[in-house]
């Protein structure tokens, strides 16, 4: 693949052997505990803080970093210049954070983003907040003005640790050149371990420029950070008994199932005990949607059958979900008859929004295995399963696609799904297109759904596709399903996809509206389309060509299959401007704070 070729840098060619000889020739001089790990690659001793920062990334096995160069971060870039880590220069820092975030979702290892001080750092904030809401592993490294200037409102100074405190798992102001590499190692470990999340290290320019020979410590979380792996055995036993006696059980799988690598354990558990499975939006891919037990996604735009099942169940085994309001609707009507068994690695998620009758704090995979051992007989739920299947046919996700109408978005999503392999990675922006991508694509594998859930960041799709492409296997397709409004927010990143020759297919479902807002305006604001009518959109296919990508356009049904095939076949970034029915809306829909069981199937029911 072309992008693999692109990461071969000229840095590591000649001197490598000499370096290793140097290293092994002076073992006595090496007093750092990580000397072994460091000696695997280029191992010139570090001479300044910036090199220690880069060494910390190398020790952690980092392959890619996404960022934008700038004044205060220059020493770090100077050190990266000699590293095997491949730096992807993005067009905007927000995109660097999204690309790193998506890299983290697909690979499971923290994505790395870099920015300079001031505007560079503040531009990262949206991406960091996005990662925080979705518990994605991410490490942000920001330049800072020299420590002597900090607090004086110096050029390009922002209190970055202050600004990012509420949206990071932890952040650090690096003040010591001897410690700075270890600060980065620690940030890496914290981003990955326990409940993943974004961490940030703020790097004053004098600290990274200062001389030091200190090698960074190995990635290790601070001694105040503790993660409980196994749930309390008594509660496990009680929860198992509750499951055994359930007559209307469901499993609700959240994003934590995928992050905790528990998909396989959950699948086995559900199939063995024949429990219908619902996912949250971040949980998409945790259970194969083509399986009989799958009820797919619940919540505001979840399937009708998932919402019926979630409303009528008597026992819910919820794993790795924080019960977001887009999932629960109104708290009063959420699974009102159900006793909740809640598995989460973060104790603070237990009984935060929905009271947990059986709190199981621990690693998702470990706790599911504990439960698996404890549950001896499957629940008697034949009637319930039949009811679930009935709901599947009552509220099927079918749509009309008459030949003479404008192209329906659902048809395009299904056509893309059909044209690609099961392990294809889908990234999206935020809006109607995102919901259609949830509803009409059949996901079967974890880490193939890459989207902005909690923060709902428009513009996420394209930079995420860049990060996902670099984390994906070479033979895996990456498709970005975007909306016109969403795509417009970060489309400058096409320049990056072209430069790196990344094989990404972007399908812009273009209705010349901020469609989700338009849908709400129609439903709740008397059809007054205040600032949601985007009939001034550029022609995205031509825009793509201007960037050097391949541009395609779909206007009617005859074009769909053929154009998708061409775009997928193009080796490099391609953009399909899909002109969809501008009046198409997303159903089912649970109005904000409503009752999940009372989802609307048409506008009249809102």
Hey, which residues are catalytic here? 93, 155-156, 205, 516
- Residue 397 makes contact with another protein by CB under 8 A: yes
Catalogue the long-range contacts made by 120-124 (C-beta closer than 8 Å, 24 or more residues apart): 120/68, 120/70, 120/72, 120/73, 120/93, 120/156, 121/93, 121/158, 121/160, 121/163, 121/164, 121/202, 122/158, 122/160, 122/163, 123/68, 123/92, 123/93, 123/94, 124/93, 124/94, 124/96, 124/97, 124/164
Closest approach, Cβ 334 to another protein, in A, equals 6
Is 580 within 8 Å of 510 (Cβ atoms)? yes
Count Cα neighbours of 83 within 13 Å in the Cβ-side half-sphere.
26
Give burial (CB, 10 Å; 0-12/13-18/19+) of 26. Answer: exposed
Catalogue the long-range contacts made by 549-555 (C-beta closer than 8 Å, 24 or more residues apart): 549/494, 549/497, 549/498, 549/573, 549/574, 549/575, 550/574, 550/575, 551/575, 551/577, 552/576, 552/577, 553/577, 553/578, 553/579, 554/407, 554/412, 554/578, 554/579, 555/407, 555/579
Closest approach, Cβ 171 to another protein, in A, equals 9
Q: Which stretch binds another protein (CB under 8 A): 78-86, 268-276, 303-311, 523-531?
A: 303-311
Closest approach, Cβ 232 to another protein, in A, equals 4
Closest approach, Cβ 497 to another protein, in A, equals 35
Looking at residue 176, the DSSP 8-state letter turns out to be -
384/547 with CB nearer another protein = 384
Sequence-distant (6+) residues with CB within 8 A of 264 are: none
> Encoding tokens for residue 95?
């995109």
387/501 with CB nearer another protein = 387
73/167 with CB nearer another protein = 167
- Residue 603 makes contact with another protein by CB under 8 A: yes
- Residue recorded with tokens 């105040």: 224
- Residue 204 makes contact with another protein by CB under 8 A: no
- Residue 597 makes contact with another protein by CB under 8 A: yes
Is the backbone of residue 549 left (phi > 0), alpha (psi -120 to 50) or beta?
Answer: beta
Calpha distance 516→527 (Å, rounded): 13
| Site mask for another protein (CB under 8 A), range 323-342, x = bound | x-------xxxx-xxxx---
Candidate list 33, 61, 151, 162; residue touching another protein; CB under 8 A: 162
Q: Which stretch binds another protein (CB under 8 A): 84-92, 116-124, 202-210, 223-231?
A: 223-231
Calpha distance 30→337 (Å, rounded): 63
Calpha distance 126→390 (Å, rounded): 42
Candidate list 268, 272, 394, 556; residue touching another protein; CB under 8 A: 394
- Residue 148 makes contact with another protein by CB under 8 A: no
89/598 with CB nearer another protein = 598
Calpha distance 31→169 (Å, rounded): 32
| Site mask for another protein (CB under 8 A), range 417-456, x = bound | ----------------------------------------
- Residue 174 makes contact with another protein by CB under 8 A: no
Q: Which stretch binds another protein (CB under 8 A): 99-107, 367-375, 572-580, 593-601?
A: 593-601
Region 224-263 residues binding another protein, contact defined as CB under 8 A: 224-226, 228, 231-232, 235
Count Cα neighbours of 407 within 13 Å in the Cβ-side half-sphere.
23
- Residue 190 makes contact with another protein by CB under 8 A: yes
Closest approach, Cβ 329 to another protein, in A, equals 11
173/384 with CB nearer another protein = 173
Sequence-distant (6+) residues with CB within 8 A of 293 are: 270, 271, 274, 275, 276, 277, 287, 385
Calpha distance 54→61 (Å, rounded): 11
CA angle, residues 127, 129, 132, in degrees to nearest 5: 110
Sequence-distant (6+) residues with CB within 8 A of 420 are: 477, 479, 568
Closest approach, Cβ 350 to another protein, in A, equals 7
3-state class (DSSP) for residue 544? helix
Q: Which stretch binds another protein (CB under 8 A): 89-97, 219-227, 497-505, 560-568?
A: 219-227
Closest approach, Cβ 336 to another protein, in A, equals 3
- Residue 308 makes contact with another protein by CB under 8 A: yes
| Site mask for another protein (CB under 8 A), range 400-419, x = bound | x-x--x--------------
Q: Which stretch binds another protein (CB under 8 A): 97-105, 120-128, 167-175, 487-495?
A: 167-175
Calpha distance 107→471 (Å, rounded): 6
Closest approach, Cβ 161 to another protein, in A, equals 7
72/354 with CB nearer another protein = 354
Closest approach, Cβ 372 to another protein, in A, equals 20
Calpha distance 121→135 (Å, rounded): 20
| Site mask for another protein (CB under 8 A), range 340-379, x = bound | ------xxx-xxxxxxx--x-x------------------
Closest approach, Cβ 242 to another protein, in A, equals 14
399/570 with CB nearer another protein = 399
* Contact set with another protein (CB under 8 A): 161-162, 165-166, 169-170, 173, 190, 222, 224-226, 228, 231-232, 235, 304, 308, 311-312, 323, 331-334, 336-339, 346-348, 350-356, 359, 361, 394-400, 402, 405, 583-585, 587-588, 595, 597-605
């Amino acid at each position: 693949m072309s992008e693999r070729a692109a990461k071969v840098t000229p840095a590591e060619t000649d001197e490598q052997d000499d370096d290793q000889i140097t290293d092994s020739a002076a073992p006595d001089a090496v007093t750092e505990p990580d000397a072994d790990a460091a000696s695997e690659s280029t191992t010139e001793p570090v001479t300044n803080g910036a090199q220690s920062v880069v060494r910390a990334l190398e020790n952690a096995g980092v392959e890619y970093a996404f960022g934008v160069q700038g004044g205060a971060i220059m020493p770090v870039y100077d050190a990266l210049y000699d590293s095997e880590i491949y730096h992807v220069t993005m067009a905007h820092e927000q995109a660097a954070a999204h690309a790193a975030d998506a890299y983290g979702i697909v690979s499971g290892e923290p994505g790395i983003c870099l920015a300079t001080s001031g505007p560079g750092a503040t531009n990262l904030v949206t991406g960091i907040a996005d990662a925080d809401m979705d518990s994605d592993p991410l490490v942000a490294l920001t330049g800072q003005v020299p420590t002597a200037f900090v607090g004086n409102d110096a050029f390009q100074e922002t209190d970055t640790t202050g600004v990012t405190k509420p949206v990071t798992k932890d952040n650090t102001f690096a003040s010591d050149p001897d410690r700075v590499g270890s600060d980065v190692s620690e940030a890496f470990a914290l981003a990955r371990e326990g409940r993943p999340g974004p961490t940030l290290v703020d790097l004053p320019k004098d600290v990274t420029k200062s001389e030091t020979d200190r090698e960074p410590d190995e990635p290790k979380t601070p001694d105040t950070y503790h993660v409980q792996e196994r749930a309390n055995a008594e509660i496990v036993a009680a929860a198992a008994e509750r499951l055994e006696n359930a007559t209307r059980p469901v499993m609700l799988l959240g994003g934590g199932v995928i992050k905790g690598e528990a998909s396989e354990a959950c699948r086995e558990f559900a199939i063995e005990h024949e429990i219908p499975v619902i996912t949250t939006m971040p949980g998409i891919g945790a259970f194969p949607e083509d399986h009989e037990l799958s009820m797919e996604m619940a919540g505001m735009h979840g399937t009708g059958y998932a919402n019926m099942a979630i409303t009528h169940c008597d026992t819910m085994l919820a794993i790795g979900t924080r019960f977001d309001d887009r999932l629960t609707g109104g708290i009063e009507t959420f699974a009102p008859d159900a006793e909740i068994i809640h598995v989460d690695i973060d104790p603070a998620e237990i009984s935060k929004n929905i009271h947990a009758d059986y709190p199981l704090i621990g690693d998702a995979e470990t706790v599911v295995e504990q439960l698996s051992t404890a549950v001896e007989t499957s629940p008697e739920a034949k009637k319930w399963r039949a009811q679930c299947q009935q709901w599947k046919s009552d509220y099927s996700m079918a749509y009309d696609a008459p030949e003479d109408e404008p192209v329906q978005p659902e048809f395009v999503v299904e056509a893309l799904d059909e044209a690609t392999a099961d392990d294809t990675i889908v990234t999206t922006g935020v809006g109607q297109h995102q919901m259609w991508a949830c509803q009409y694509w059949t996901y079967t594998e974890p880490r193939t759904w890459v989207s902005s859930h909690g923060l709902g960041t428009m513009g996420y799709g394209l930079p995420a596709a860049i990060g996902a492409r670099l984390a994906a296997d070479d033979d895996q397709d990456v498709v970005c399903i975007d909306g016109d409004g969403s795509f417009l927010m970060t489309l400058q990143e096409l320049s990056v996809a072209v430069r790196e020759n990344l094989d990404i297919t972007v399908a812009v479902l273009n209705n010349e509206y901020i469609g989700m807002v338009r849908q709400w305006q129609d439903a709740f604001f008397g059809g007054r389309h205040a600032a949601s009518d985007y009939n001034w959109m550029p022609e995205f296919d031509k825009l793509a060509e201007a960037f050097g990508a391949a541009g395609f356009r779909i206007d009617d049904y005859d074009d769909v299959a053929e154009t998708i095939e061409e775009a997928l076949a193009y080796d490099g970034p391609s953009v399909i401007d899909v002109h969809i029915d501008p009046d198409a809306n997303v159903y089912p829909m649970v109005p904000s704070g409503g009752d999940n069981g009372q989802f609307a199937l048409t506008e009249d029911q809102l």
